[in-house]
Amino acid sequence: MAIWQSKPTLEALNQGIASCMPGYLGMQITEIGDDYLEGRLPVDHRTRQPFGILHGGASVVLAETLGSVGANLLVDTARFYCVGQEINANHLRPVPDGEVTGRARPVHLGRTSQVWEILLHAPNGKLSCISRLTIAVVARGDR
């Protein structure tokens, strides 16, 4: 059974990230599962650091985008919105080229917070980064 409050199309999700940082880096959301969201990020001139491998910050952009988009799919967006509150990432191995894929899955779904685990894999299928994202669930009008 799917956990989502709303389930837009992949096209709509990708349009939503197209004109901001994830879109500029070439990120795409590729799958909405029953309890996870997947996406990919190219390892190219936009996302590499000076040593020729995927920049850790680019990994975090992929992780936070997947978790934040997923978090917002779980709430009534007429009443709430979700924003990243804290993120950590353990970079396990370098990725010099190809495409990194990520899968975000919720670990905790509370009334005012969510915690997501995001696993990133290199093109060879090996785990390259483990990230955990804490999300604040904010009532609209609480600014």
Could you read off the pLDDT of 52-80 as tens digits, one per residue? 999 999 999 999 999 999 999 999 999 99
* Catalytic positions, written as ranges: 64
Please name every residue paired with 14 in a beta bridge, in sequence order, or none if there are none.
none
pTM of the model: 0.95
- Residue 26: left (phi > 0), alpha (psi -120 to 50), or beta? left
Chain segment 82-136, per-residue pLDDT in tens: 999 999 999 999 999 999 999 999 999 999 999 999 999 999 999 999 999 999 9
The predicted structure's pLDDT at residue 31: 97
For residues 115 and 132, what is the distance between their CA atoms, to the nearest angstrom? 7
